[in-house]
Amino acid sequence: MKKDIILAGVGGQGILTIATLIGYAALKRGWHFKQAEVHGMSQRGGDVQSHLRLSENPIWSDLIPFGAADMILSVEPMEALRYLPYLAGDGWIITNSNPFDNIAKYPELDAIHARIKSIPNHVLLDADSIAKEIKANRSMNIVVLGAAAKHLGFSKEELEQAITAIFARKGDAIVEANFNALQAGLQKG
Amino acid sequence: MEKLMLLGDEALAQGAMDAGMSGAFAYPGTPSTEIMEYIQRSKQANENNIHRTWSSNEKTAVETAIGMSYAGKRAIACMKHVGLNVAADPFMNSAFTGANGGLLIIVADDPSMHSSQNEQDSRFYGKFAMIPVLEPSNQQECYDMAFYGFELSEKYHVPVLIRLTTRLSHSRAGVQTRERRAQNQLKFPDDPNQFMLLPAIARKKYKNLINLQKDFVAEAENSQFNQADLKAKENKLGIIACGLAYNYLKENYGNQEVPYPVLKICQYPLPVDQIKQMYDAVDEILVLEEGMPLVEDMIKGMAWQGTKKIKGRLDRTIPRDGELNPNLVAKALGLPDNPGVAIPDIVAPRPPQLCMGCPHADSFKALNEAMEQYGKGHVFSDIGCYTLGFLPPYHAINSCVDMGASITMAKGAADAGLYPAIAVIGDSTFSHSGMTGLLDCLFDKSNVVIVILDNSTTGMTGGQEYTGFSKLEEICFGLGVEKEHIRSFVPLPKNKEDMVRIYKEEIAYNGVSVVIPKRECVQILKKKYKMEE
C-alpha cells in the first residue's frame, strides 16, 4: 500500500499543516513517510507544493515521479491544475474552488473549474465558505483535508487524533474548530 | 534513542548536537537556514550550552568555527552554496591549517535555483580544497554523517565539507538517533604552529595535505556510505549514483534489484579502485549526480579511460543543468517514462511577490516617483525580498548580483559617470557585506545614494536576527557619512510626499547619501501577533 500526494497552494495558505496531519496519521500506522517541502522565495505569495509520500514499504525518492500521484490535494483551484503532470490516470483531484487572486491576470474561473471537472475523479468544493459557515475561518485547509479523507483511506478518527496531537498546544477551541472543519469536509468528500 | 521526523537540514543539526558539537555559526540562506534555526530552538542545545548565534556573514561564520576548532571543540559553519564564495578564503586556508576540534563546513546547494542566483556545485570546492566531502542521500545519512564527519575531521585533523541539496535539505523523513557524545574539553592544538600559515609553515602544511590524499581515498573506498554492488545480471551498463541521485535510481526499480552494477557514492574523494573495478566489468557507464558533472568529468579525464562510453550530463543523457528527478533518471536508463498530462494552458504563472503591506513596496513606489525624470537603469540592488522590486508593478531595480554588490556597483557606475547612481540594499544584507562598500564610496567621495531598507529582520529566509540590528544610522555615521545626509523615514502611503522629497534632495546632493526607510517586516509583525494571541 502506498499513497503519493501532491499538496498545492499559494505561499501562506497552510498546505504544510495538511502535510503534518496526514504524516502524523501515517506514522501512527507505522508507515514510512517522506515529505518534500518548498521553503524560501516562493513562500512570498508564489506557487508552493509539497510532495507527500506514504508507504508500507521503504520510500526512495523524495519527489513523486510524473504520472504517479494518487492525489492532488489543493487549497486553490488553479494551483491544483499546475501539478496535473504528477497525477496518475486514476488519481484524484481534491481542491478548494475559491481562487487566491494575487496576480495581474487571473484566468477565467469557470474555465479552471471546467478543467478540474473534466478529470474523472474530482472533488471541487468551496472550502472558504464552508469554513465560514461553521465559524472556523482559518480552517479552510482542514475542510479540504476532510474532503480528501475517504479517498486517501484515512478514517475520521485517525485524522482527529492527528488534529488533537498537532493543535493541542493552541487550546481546545482551535482543536474543536478543526474537528468541525474536518467533519464539514468529510461530508463533501 | 528515539525516532524523529526531521528535514535533512534538521537531521544534520540534531546529528551535530548528538555528536558533541559545541558551536554552530551561520548566516541564513535558502536552503541551509533550517540547520541553525533548529539548533536555536533546541532544548538540548540550551541545556548543553551550545553556542548558536547568527554571524554577520559566511566568512565570519567559518572563521569563528575555525577558532572554536583551534580551542579543541567541535564546531560547524552552515551556509548556502553562494555563501561559500563569501567564505572561500577561510575555507580554503582551513584545509591547510586543518582542525583541532572536529570541524564541519555544511553547505546546501540549490540546483534548479529555486531561491538562488546560480546553481554552483560545492563538491568542486571540496576537491579544490583537497578535503573529504560527504554527500548524504537521505535524512538518516544526514544524521549519521554528522557523527562520522566529526570523527573523520578529528582523525586526520582536517575540516570536512558536507554537501546538501535543496530536496534533501527541505524533505522530512524518520531519523533514528543514537547515543550522544560529550563535547570536547578546551584543548590547545598539539602543534602550536598548526594554525600559523606563514609561507615557510604553509609550504609544510600543503605537503602534509597532499600526503593525506591517499588516506582520504582509502577512507572513501571503505566508507559505509559508499556501496559497490557489482554482482548484477547485466554488464552492458554500470551506474554511478551520487547522493540523492541514488534514490532516483532505486525509485525507478521499486522493490526490484537494479539489473546493472551500481556504485553509490556519498563520500569523496572518489573511491578510485571501486570505479576502476566497475569500469573493467561493464561496457559503458552512466553517471547520475545532482548538480554539475563533477564525477562524470573526472572519470572521463582518468588516464585509464579507454574506448568505453561515459554517459551523463556532458553528453546530455541527463540535461546539462537543473536538478534531477525520477523521470529524468528513467529516461537516462531507457526505461518507459510516463510524463503525465501536460499542465493546462490556462494555468498562469504565479511568481513570488512582496507581501500585502510590505514596507519595501512603499519605499519602491516613492523611489520610482523620485527617479521618474531620469528614466530607467539607475538603481542597483541586492539579495533579499526587495529583489522582487524588479517584478511588476514596481520595475524599480536593475541589478541583483551578490550580497553587497548594490553599493559597489552603484559606485562603479557613478565612477563611470552615471548620474544618479542609486543602491538599494536590505538591512541584513548591509550588515553582511555592505559596510565595506560604503567605506569605498566614502573614501572616494562617490556621488551615490544608498537606500538601506530597514525592516528589522532577515526577511527572505523567514525572519532571522542580524548583527547590525538597530545600529544602521550609527554604523553609517561611524564609517563617515555626514550626519545631515543620513536620512530616515517611515515608508507608508501617507508619508509618500516626504519620502519622494527626501529621495530627491539626496539625489541632488553630490556625495555619499544614505536613506533609511524604516518599518518592520509584516511577516514578523504577524508572527509576534500570533504569539501574543
The complex's ipTM works out to 0.93
What's the domain count of chain B? 3
The domain boundary, picked from B183, B206, B221, lies at B221
Same domain, yes or no: B465 and B397: yes
Grid cell, residue B82, equals 553562494
Closest CA to B134 of B30, B38, B262, B220: B220
Choosing among B140, B249, B350, B391, which should be mutated to test the A contact, i.e. which has the most A CBs within 10 A?
B350
Same domain, yes or no: B381 and B288: no
A39 pLDDT tier (thresholds 50, 70, 90): confident
pLDDT of B306 reads 64
Whether B532 has a pLDDT exceeding 60, the answer reads no
Domain, as residue range, for B493: 359-526
The domain boundary, picked from B221, B250, B278, lies at B221
**Is the alpha carbon torsion for B389, B391, B395, B400 positive or negative?**
positive
Mean pLDDT of B472-488: 98
Domains of chain A, CATH where assigned: 2-188 (3.40.920.10)
Same domain, yes or no: B42 and B105: yes
What residues of chain A lie within 8 A of the CB of B109, using their CB? none
The answer to whether A74 contacts chain B (CB < 8 Å) is no
Distance of CA B104 to the CA centre of its chain: 14
Same domain, yes or no: B324 and B365: no
Q: With respect to residue B406, please indicate whether it lies within any of the assigned structural domains.
A: yes
Same domain, yes or no: B166 and B298: no
Instruction: Report the C-alpha gap between B295 and B28 in whole angstroms.
Output: 29
Average model confidence (pLDDT) across chain B: 96
Q: With respect to residue B395, please indicate whether it lies within any of the assigned structural domains.
A: yes
What residues of chain B lie within 8 A of the CB of A107, using their CB? 346-348
- CATH code assigned at B253: 3.40.50.920
Q: With respect to residue B533, please indicate whether it lies within any of the assigned structural domains.
A: no
Work out the widest C-alpha separation in chain B, in whole angstroms.
78
Q: What percent of chain A lies above the pLDDT cut of 90? A: 87
If one counts every other C-beta atom within 10 angstroms of the C-beta of residue B498, the result is 13
Report the residue from A38, A46, A81 with minimal CB separation from B344. Answer: A81
Same domain, yes or no: B52 and B134: yes
Same domain, yes or no: B398 and B283: no
Same domain, yes or no: B191 and B325: no
Same domain, yes or no: B96 and B168: yes
| Helix or strand (DSSP H, E) at B369 | helix B359-371
The domain boundary, picked from B204, B221, B238, lies at B221
Across the interface, whether the CB atoms of B347 and A78 are under 8 A apart is answered yes
Q: B306 versus B403: which is more confidently predicted?
A: B403
Q: With respect to residue B174, please indicate whether it lies within any of the assigned structural domains.
A: yes
Q: What is the pLDDT of residues B86-137, one digit of tens each?
A: 999 999 999 999 999 999 999 999 999 999 999 999 999 999 999 999 999 9
Q: A45 versus B198: which is more confidently predicted?
A: B198
Q: With respect to residue B45, please indicate whether it lies within any of the assigned structural domains.
A: yes
B300 pLDDT tier (thresholds 50, 70, 90): confident
Same domain, yes or no: B239 and B214: no
What's phi and psi for B256, nearest 5 deg?
A: -90, 160
Q: What percent of chain B lies above the pLDDT cut of 70? A: 98
Same domain, yes or no: B453 and B509: yes
Same domain, yes or no: B129 and B239: no
Whether B529 has a pLDDT exceeding 90, the answer reads no
One-letter amino acid for residue A76 of the chain: E
Q: With respect to residue B351, please indicate whether it lies within any of the assigned structural domains.
A: no
Across the interface, whether the CB atoms of B462 and A43 are under 8 A apart is answered yes
Across the interface, whether the CB atoms of A41 and B352 are under 8 A apart is answered yes
- CATH code assigned at B35: 3.40.50.970
Choosing among A21, A31, A56, A62, which should be mutated to test the B contact, i.e. which has the most B CBs within 10 A?
A62
Closest CA to B261 of B287, B232, B236: B232
Q: With respect to residue B342, please indicate whether it lies within any of the assigned structural domains.
A: no
pLDDT of B352 reads 87
Across the interface, whether the CB atoms of A66 and B327 are under 8 A apart is answered yes
Residue B217 C-alpha, separation from nearest chain A C-alpha, in angstroms = 27
A45 pLDDT tier (thresholds 50, 70, 90): confident
Q: With respect to residue B344, please indicate whether it lies within any of the assigned structural domains.
A: no
Across the interface, whether the CB atoms of B168 and A86 are under 8 A apart is answered no
Using CA atoms, how far residue B209 sits from B94, B130, B219, in Å, is: 11, 7, 15
